[in-house]
């Protein structure tokens, strides 16, 4: 291909040029390399006549993994924009064309975007989607914006790595972004989450540890609809490895709470995760913290009838066995209300239990059991029980038999006597 062929190609769109190249049957990789080199020379001439196609030229460079193409596009494109009086070089921050101040200017339709397709993707976005770590490094060094997002999924390159990149490639890609010093590890991303939250969700352990240990992400920041810290997120996602990692961090706030006022201990109890409950108790968490309904970890264990977490809670001498929620219900009162003989017997093994505590209606655990015994004496249906005075879950299964209340009445009377 001769130099005078440049004139022909500068009259075509870059997309058409690429279509011509793709139709040619190149016999070997060496020939393709020659074409790439020739194409780099064409670019130098072409973008002077078609500056609006910077983004497409960049995309081509990424697709063929040709750094020389990218550097040439940026060098000529950047100098051209500066010649027009722009204060800064090309940067991928907008997909909107702009007009030069002088309407007579031949380059009034110049686009200063790195976008190349109809969804506002960028060269860096394409390289990230392809998992091309080397190209990511080059683009970031050249000033690519790691936060510019495509119009369809609103995922920028950095966001994509944390949320959708394959787990086998995500650590290396994340390392390239972080090494560029263009990433704010504490910046909330468009979906309202922090990088640490996304690393938890995607189970990217090494990326999570890299963010904390090497790039000093704040482990106690809250984000998301539930206003969670990294620890609360890890507990809610049952990510035991990251929970252990966080609990080893000297600055971790183990008593942090979410939008419902629920601590990591309460969340672990609700999930029935006895191992995490034990780990948290060993770290000295507030064993009696109450959520916005006034319910502690022990209260929730009884409400949900989760026997696996009851033992470590009862074995901790700090746990208040007589804690009352906002309605005055104690764990024993709740067990009595449910007719939960097992929970009642476990609680009544401890001398600290106060069976005389009353709820806001003046009812004790014993009077509650007696009341339900009367209700069920005639075989009444318990499909719609009265309001229990505490927050419960819809999926709880309980015995609704008079016999269970007979047993609870008997065991409480025995405890009192």
What whole-number distance in Å separates Cα of residue 268 and Cα of residue 275? 9
Under the banding of pLDDT at 50, 70 and 90, the label for residue 102 is very low
Residue 103 above 60 pLDDT? no
Question: Quick one: pLDDT band at residue 202, thresholds 50, 70, 90?
Answer: very high
Rounded CA separation 263/42 (Å): 62
Measure the CA–CA gap between 217 and 209, rounded to whole angstroms: 9
Residue 182: pLDDT over 80: yes
How far, CA to CA in Å, does 104 sit from each of 86, 99, 101, 109?
17, 10, 9, 11
Q: How confident is the model at residue 274 (pLDDT cuts 50, 70, 90)?
A: very high
Whether 292 has a pLDDT exceeding 60, the answer reads yes
- Separation between Cα atoms, residue 230 and residue 353, nearest integer Å: 36
Domains of the chain, first to last: 1-76 (no CATH), 322-416 (1.25.40.20)
93, pLDDT greater than 50: no
In the predicted model, is pLDDT for residue 170 greater than 80?
Answer: yes
Instruction: Enter the tokens of residue 123.
Output: 């060269």
pLDDT for the residue 142: 76
Closest to 402 (Cα-Cα) out of 373, 380, 369, 365:
373
Percent of the chain at pLDDT exceeding 90 = 51
> Taking 60 as the threshold, does the pLDDT of residue 400 lie above it?
no
Q: Count of H helices and E strands in the chain?
A: 21, 0
pLDDT 10s digits, 318-345: 999 999 999 999 999 999 998 889 999 9
Question: Is 50 exceeded by the pLDDT of residue 217?
Answer: yes
Supply the pLDDT for residue 385: 45
Q: What pLDDT, on a 0 to 100 scale, did the predictor assign at position 397?
A: 40
pLDDT tens profile 335-390: 999 888 999 999 999 989 999 999 998 999 999 888 887 766 655 544 444 445 55
Q: How far, in Å, CA of 297 to CA of 267, rounded?
A: 8
> Which of 14-23, 29-38, 48-57, 337-346 has the weakest average pLDDT?
29-38
* Percent of the chain whose predicted confidence (pLDDT) is above 70: 63
pLDDT at 395: 38
- pLDDT mean over 161-176: 96
């Amino acid at each position: 291909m001769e130099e005078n062929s440049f004139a022909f190609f500068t009259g075509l769109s870059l997309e058409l040029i690429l279509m011509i190249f793709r139709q040619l049957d190149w016999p070997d990789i060496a020939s393709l390399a020659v074409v790439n080199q020739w194409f780099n020379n064409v670019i130098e001439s072409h973008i002077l006549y078609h500056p609006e196609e910077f983004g497409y030229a960049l995309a081509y460079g990424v697709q063929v993994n040709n750094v020389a193409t990218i550097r040439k596009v940026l060098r000529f494109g950047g100098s051209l924009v500066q010649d027009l009086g722009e204060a800064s070089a090309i940067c991928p921050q907008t997909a909107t064309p702009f007009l030069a101040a002088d309407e007579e200017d031949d380059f009034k339709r110049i686009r200063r975007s790195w976008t190349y397709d109809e969804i506002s993707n960028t060269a860096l976005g394409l390289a990230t989607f392809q998992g091309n770590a080397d190209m990511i490094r080059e683009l970031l060094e050249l000033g690519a914006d790691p936060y510019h997002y495509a119009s369809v999924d609103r995922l920028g390159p950095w966001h994509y790595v944390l949320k959708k990149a394959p787990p086998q490639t995500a650590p290396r890609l994340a390392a390239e972004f972080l090494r560029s010093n263009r990433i704010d590890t504490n910046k909330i991303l468009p979906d309202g989450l922090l990088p640490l939250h996304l690393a938890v969700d995607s189970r990217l352990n090494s990326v999570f540890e890299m963010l904390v240990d090497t790039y000093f992400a704040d482990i106690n920041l809250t984000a998301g609809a539930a206003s969670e810290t990294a620890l609360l997120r890890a507990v809610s996602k049952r990510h035991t490895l990251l929970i252990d990692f966080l609990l080893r961090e000297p600055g971790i706030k183990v008593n942090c709470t979410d939008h419902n006022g629920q601590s990591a201990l309460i969340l672990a109890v609700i999930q029935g995760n006895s191992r995490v409950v034990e780990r948290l108790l060993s770290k000295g968490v507030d064993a009696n913290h109450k959520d916005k309904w006034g319910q502690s970890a022990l209260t929730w264990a009884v409400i949900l009838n989760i026997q696996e977490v009851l033992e470590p809670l009862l074995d901790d001498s700090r746990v208040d066995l007589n804690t009352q929620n906002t309605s005055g219900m104690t764990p024993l009162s709740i067990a009595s209300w449910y007719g939960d003989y097992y929970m009642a017997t476990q609680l009544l093994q401890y001398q600290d239990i106060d069976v005389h505590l009353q709820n806001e209606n003046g009812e004790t655990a014993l009077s509650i059991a007696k009341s339900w015994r009367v209700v069920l004496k005639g075989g009444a249906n318990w499909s719609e029980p009265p309001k229990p005075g505490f927050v419960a879950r819809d999926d709880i299964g309980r015995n609704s038999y008079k016999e269970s209340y007979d047993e609870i009445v008997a065991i409480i009377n025995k405890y009192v006597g």
